């Protein structure tokens, strides 16, 4: 078997706590279970990375708006936010774990993710 190694795959997941990071990648998609659009942000520094999904839903919009504001992009009513403008932006995040019940297996899963966003 041949396994391709892409840039950044040699990094570990960031440790819990406050981290200074750069947004290095944005991936867009739709949730597997409810069809909700999301964008996944890769937050990275020299020690590692963490990815975080932002869901474009009523409940998810406050976190999306806060992320944009923490990197200096103002969210204005009636205007669209461009996720690609996040790439290369620096900020501080708090890394932690979040547990949830998997809708398919009903097993509890734990994710490491950004749980707070602060201006750098």
| pTM of this structure | 0.84
* Helix or strand holding residue 70 (H, E): helix 61-70
Q: Do 89 and 69 meet the contact criterion of CB atoms below 8 Å apart?
A: no
**Residue 4 domain flag:** no
**Residue 71 domain flag:** yes
**Residue 108 domain flag:** yes
Q: How many domains does the chain have?
A: 1
Domain that holds residue 20: 13-119
**Residue 7 domain flag:** no
**Residue 87 domain flag:** yes
31-67 tens-digit pLDDT: 988 899 999 999 999 999 999 999 999 999 999 999 9
**What's the CATH number where 50 sits?**
2.40.50
* pLDDT of amino acid 7: 63
């Amino acid at each position: 078997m041949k396994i391709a190694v892409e840039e950044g795959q040699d990094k570990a997941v960031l440790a819990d706590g406050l981290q200074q990071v750069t947004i290095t990648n944005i991936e867009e998609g739709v949730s597997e279970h409810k069809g909700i659009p999301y964008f996944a942000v890769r937050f990275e520094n020299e020690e590692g990375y963490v990815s975080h999904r932002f869901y474009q839903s009523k409940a998810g919009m406050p976190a999306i708006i806060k992320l944009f504001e923490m990197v200096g992009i103002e969210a204005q009513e009636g205007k669209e936010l461009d996720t690609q403008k996040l790439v290369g932006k620096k900020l501080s995040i708090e890394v932690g774990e979040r547990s949830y019940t998997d809708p398919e297996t009903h097993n509890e899963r734990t994710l490491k993710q950004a749980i707070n966003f602060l201006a750098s």
